[in-house]
Amino acid sequence: MKLINKLKILANETRMDILRWLNDPKKHFPDQVSDVEKYGACVGLIEAKSNVAQSTISLYLKQLEQAGFVDSLREGKWTYYKLNRNALDKVASDLRKLGDE
């Protein structure tokens, strides 16, 4: 995915909130029963915290995953999302390189 498209995905307050929450999932999802560090946050908890419709959160998570910003894990009937820090570091690196061009 092109850098401009990744930046468009980041230019949304709710998607940025999701990334912020996943950056420190223990703090933002303390009630999750399963190991939040290992699995990530359950989509239901992300939805509840966001106060946004389930369909919108599903779309936002899909977009974040397509951009590589989050990874998903399916465990039975549950889907968990975890931050991919490497993808965010790559965007930051690509932005820094713009000055070199």
Cα angle for residues 56, 23, 46 (degrees, 5° grid): 30
| Residue 35 belongs to a domain | no
pTM of the predicted structure, to 2 decimals: 0.91
CATH number at residue 74: 1.10.10.10
| Residue 70 belongs to a domain | yes
Backbone conformation region of residue 68, classed left if phi is above 0, alpha if psi is from -120 to 50, else beta? left
Domain assignment of residue 58, given as a range: 41-101
User: How many domains does the chain divide into?
Assistant: 1
| Residue 19 belongs to a domain | no
CB atoms within 10 A of CB 22: 23
| Residue 2 belongs to a domain | no
The 10s digit of each residue's pLDDT in 1-30 is: 999 999 999 999 999 999 999 999 999 999
| Residue 79 belongs to a domain | yes
| Residue 86 belongs to a domain | yes
Contact between 41 and 28 under an 8 Å Cβ cutoff? The reply is: yes
| Residue 95 belongs to a domain | yes
The 10s digit of each residue's pLDDT in 27-82 is: 999 988 888 888 899 999 999 999 999 999 999 999 999 999 999 999 888 899 99
| Residue 101 belongs to a domain | yes
Contact between 20 and 81 under an 8 Å Cβ cutoff? The reply is: no
> What is the three-class DSSP state of 41?
strand
